[in-house]
Structure 1
Amino acid sequence: MMGDPAIDREAFKEFEREGFSRVAQGYDGAIAHVTSQANEGILDAVETGSGSRLLDVACGTGWLSAAALKRQAIVTGLDYAENMVVIGRSRFPQIEFHLGDAENLPFESNKFDAVVCNLGILHFPEPEKAIAESLRVLKSGGRYAFTCWTPPARNPFMALILGAVQTYGIIDVDLPPGPPLFRFGDPDECQKILSASGFTSVSVTELPITWTFSKSQDVMPTIIASSARLGPMLAMQTQEQSHDIENAIIQGAKKYATDNVIQIPASVVLAVGRKP
């Protein structure tokens, strides 16, 4: 899958950069709460502890970085969306945040004890390059971990959102094409890419995630306001399509009502490897 000719890498990268900068505040208030549920599992997988030098790639607004700091790790965060980095720096001044590219890391080789990437790999036009760069900056014996959403068949939240769009709207809207969204939701694909990149002791597991909303009517507006790709896809539907999609999401979300809130299950794949 190296170098897919159908993907304009620079157009995709710029779309993602601008998109995440635009929704940084909304992302921090919504999606970051969800994705942070994987933080402890990721940090356990790379054996993060006191004095560990850890690089958080695609760090967003710094939630995973902050969780590593609580373990007394020496933390560096990197993201290519400027507003994400601005929020991270303002909230966690003890952490060194960089604006930079996961596919061309601005660090010397053999620098870090661990490199982590929580739900960032699906946003890279050439994930193989990002993984190779993570390997390069790791010390020998260091560990690397990334997560990715599982596909709709194992992910009720994604099934709800994408199923509503497939039924009542258009999935293939006019956005820069990128790598397959759920490529690394396949454990075999994770195993293959990490092994091919030079990692050993590769393991792949699944972590549960829960999306929580005050009411079912909040689901679609929240995604539009906090997602760089799903949000624009939803926003680009016609008025009629948008109405039907939102109604389907509202009705589907009601099935997950509990204790006066909506809790929709999801999951991520956690892939881990060690540098020889």
Structure 2
Amino acid sequence: MTGQPPIAHEAFKQFERDKFSLVAQGYDQAIAQVTSQVDQAILDAVEAGYGKQLLDVACGTGWLSAAAMSRQAIVTGLDYAEKMVVIARLRCPEAEFQIGDAENLPFESGRFDAIVCSLGILHFADPERAIAQSFRVLKPGGRYAFTCWTPPARNPFMPLILGSVQTYGNMEVYLPPRPPLFRFGETAECKKVLSSAGFTSVSITELPMKWTFSTPQDVMPRIVISTARLGSILAMQTEEQRHNVENAIIEGAKKYVMDGSLEIPASILLTVGHKP
């Protein structure tokens, strides 16, 4: 993980909390809907079911929590962004949702049978601490699962978006430095971090998903309204840069149009560990 600027933890956490509250509605209608494609696989991995106490860390707007409730699990969700939690409560009123920090979980040790974290780990300033906290509140014999995006080489959606910004825009705008985006898209890193935290029988699976849009022109607007960091980067471009980035995304998206629909492939890694 060399070559990365140092992380100012509190500044990064404040940025994440504030920006995700601002984009909560757009996130709910775009990213959360797309990533819900793998919710059942995540819940299968932790054996979520009737009567299981399940914690959804970085629960966002509650899609995964709602899927767990449909299996009759007893669900607690936690997120740092207040408006995310507001939407999650509306989506899934039977679950318990709290505003809280994944790095300082407000629960007693050994409370939960299963813990899930869908694409939350890349938003933690100190992911090792967040994993250690999940280990603490998990019961012996319980299962923990997290997901993260795979790198661009295995994830066509990422080079389409990030590559267009890098080529035609300016990535060197001022935002609080973040942890490496694709750190946990690598199998070896996932195994190492979970094993170091005390988890055993670590398994990793790559799961496909797809982004669906009506037209190539719809791609960039949905990204802007649903992402905290990338939306902020795009908003900080000059008018010319933004125009060029959007054109590049439109042209790149056209090759994914087939039979009147637009589907762009993507994938995540699902990492699962057991607490002895």
Segments of 5+ residues of structure 2 without an aligned counterpart are none
Matched, 1:80 2:97: no
TM-score relative to the length of structure 1: 0.97
Report the AA paired with residue 104 of structure 1. N
Deviation at 1:5, TM superposition (A): 7.3
Deviation at 1:230, TM superposition (A): 1.3
The residue aligned with 2:55 is 55
TM-score relative to the length of structure 2: 0.97
Report the AA paired with residue 134 of structure 1. S
The residue aligned with 2:220 is 220
Q: Distance in 1 between matches of 2:254 and 2:20?
A: 29
The residue aligned with 2:175 is 175
* Partner deviation per Cα, 1:119-154 (whole Å, 9 max, x = no partner): 000000000000000000000000000000011111
Instruction: Work out whether residues 114 and 142 of structure 2, in 8 Å CA contact, stay in contact via their aligned partners in 1.
Output: yes
SS at match of 1:102: coil
Deviation at 1:172, TM superposition (A): 2.6
Deviation at 1:13, TM superposition (A): 0.2
Q: Distance in 2 between matches of 1:160 and 1:32?
A: 19
Instruction: Work out whether residues 190 and 271 of structure 2, in 8 Å CA contact, stay in contact via their aligned partners in 1.
Output: yes
The residue aligned with 2:126 is 126
The residue aligned with 1:144 is 144
Q: Which aligned segments of 4 or more residues in structure 1 are displaced greater than 6 angstroms?
A: none
Q: Distance in 2 between matches of 1:243 and 1:31?
A: 23
Q: Distance in 2 between matches of 1:259 and 1:55?
A: 41
Q: Distance in 2 between matches of 1:70 and 1:90?
A: 15
* Partner deviation per Cα, 1:192-235 (whole Å, 9 max, x = no partner): 00000100000111000100011100111110001011111122
Report the AA paired with residue 103 of structure 2. E
The residue aligned with 2:34 is 34
Deviation at 1:259, TM superposition (A): 3.0
Deviation at 1:261, TM superposition (A): 2.0
The residue aligned with 2:90 is 90
* Superposition map of 1:162-241 within 5 A: 162-241=162-241
Report the AA paired with residue 151 of structure 1. P
User: Percent identity among equivalent residues?
Assistant: 72
Q: Distance in 2 between matches of 1:172 and 1:265?
A: 27
Q: Distance in 2 between matches of 1:267 and 1:90?
A: 28
The residue aligned with 1:158 is 158
Segments of 5+ residues of structure 1 without an aligned counterpart are none
Matched, 1:106 2:106: yes
Deviation at 1:258, TM superposition (A): 2.0
Matched, 1:116 2:116: yes
SS at match of 2:122: helix
Matched, 1:273 2:273: yes
* Partner deviation per Cα, 1:50-81 (whole Å, 9 max, x = no partner): 11110000000100000000011000000010
Deviation at 1:167, TM superposition (A): 1.0
The size of the alignment, in residue pairs, is 274
SS at match of 1:158: helix
Instruction: Work out whether residues 5 and 177 of structure 2, in 8 Å CA contact, stay in contact via their aligned partners in 1.
Output: no
Q: Distance in 2 between matches of 1:164 and 1:130?
A: 32
Report the AA paired with residue 53 of structure 1. Q
- RMSD (CA atoms): 1.0
The residue aligned with 1:255 is 255
The residue aligned with 1:44 is 44
Matched, 1:19 2:19: yes
Q: Distance in 1 between matches of 2:57 and 2:106?
A: 11
Report the AA paired with residue 209 of structure 2. I
SS at match of 2:134: helix
Q: Distance in 2 between matches of 1:263 and 1:244?
A: 22
Q: Distance in 2 between matches of 1:235 and 1:256?
A: 26
Instruction: Work out whether residues 79 and 98 of structure 2, in 8 Å CA contact, stay in contact via their aligned partners in 1.
Output: yes
Q: Distance in 1 between matches of 2:178 and 2:266?
A: 22
Q: Distance in 2 between matches of 1:262 and 1:20?
A: 27
Report the AA paired with residue 84 of structure 2. M
